[in-house]
Copies of this chain bind each other. A is one copy, B any other.
Amino acid sequence: MKELISHMQKMVSLDLEEINYLEGELVSRDIKRKTCLVTEGQICQSLYFVEKGCLRAFFISEKGTEHTCQFAIENWWITDHMSLDNQRPSHFSIQAVENSKVITLTREKQAQLLNRIPKLERYFRLIVQRSFAASQLRIKYLFSQSGVERYQHFAESFPEFLQRVPQYMLASYLNISAEFLSKIRAGKV
């Protein structure tokens, strides 16, 4: 819980009353590895803050293969905005990659918090800006780097995270096959 308050305070100043209010409203839960918080096709009703662990957004293609679009580690939020904001069936599932501790913020609860503490509009704007920026950069790398380069770039940028996710999942995030990733790691390409 204090991780989120702390995170918020990096971007907006909160007084004691506001902090107490937030602590009274927000609930942290343990989520077991592989638990789905959102299922593709359902309407997404919440945003999720990762206190500890990792979540991911993924979908299953028509061919039946899994593609991971996004990971969220500590201090990141994750949701399907298209579904949450428009109340339409989600294009993604959201799942725990490892045992995690997560704060679930329903759409109604967020509206309530923003009504009560309007300066959190700024917090959430800054949060989504950061996510959007990361997403744009990801598209740049998808366009400009080969599969090998994407893996190398990821390994250099996030060496510790590399150990935390199954290789098939990382491959699906990098948009390469699991077999190809194996060959990259074995130095066979």
A→B interface (CB under 8 Å): 57, 59, 61-62, 67, 69-70, 80-82, 85, 91-92, 114, 118-119, 121-122, 124-126, 128-140, 142-144, 175
Decide: A69 near B125, CB < 8 A? Known: A81-B132, A136-B135, A137-B91.
no
If A81-B130, A125-B125 are given as contacts, then 10 extra A-B residue pairs at C-beta distance below 8 Å, sorted by A number, are A69-B139, A80-B136, A81-B136, A82-B136, A92-B140, A121-B122, A121-B125, A139-B139, A139-B142, A142-B175
Q: Which residue of B lies closest to A173 (CB)?
A: B143
Residues on B with C-beta less than 8 A from A61 are: 143-144
For the complex, give the distance between the alpha carbons of A11 and B156 in Å. Answer: 42
A129 with B81: CB separation less than 8 A: yes
A67 with B140: CB separation less than 8 A: yes
B85 with A129: CB separation less than 8 A: yes
Residues on B with C-beta less than 8 A from A118 are: 118-119, 121
For the complex, give the distance between the alpha carbons of A81 and B131 in Å. Answer: 10
Residues on B with C-beta less than 8 A from A57 are: 136
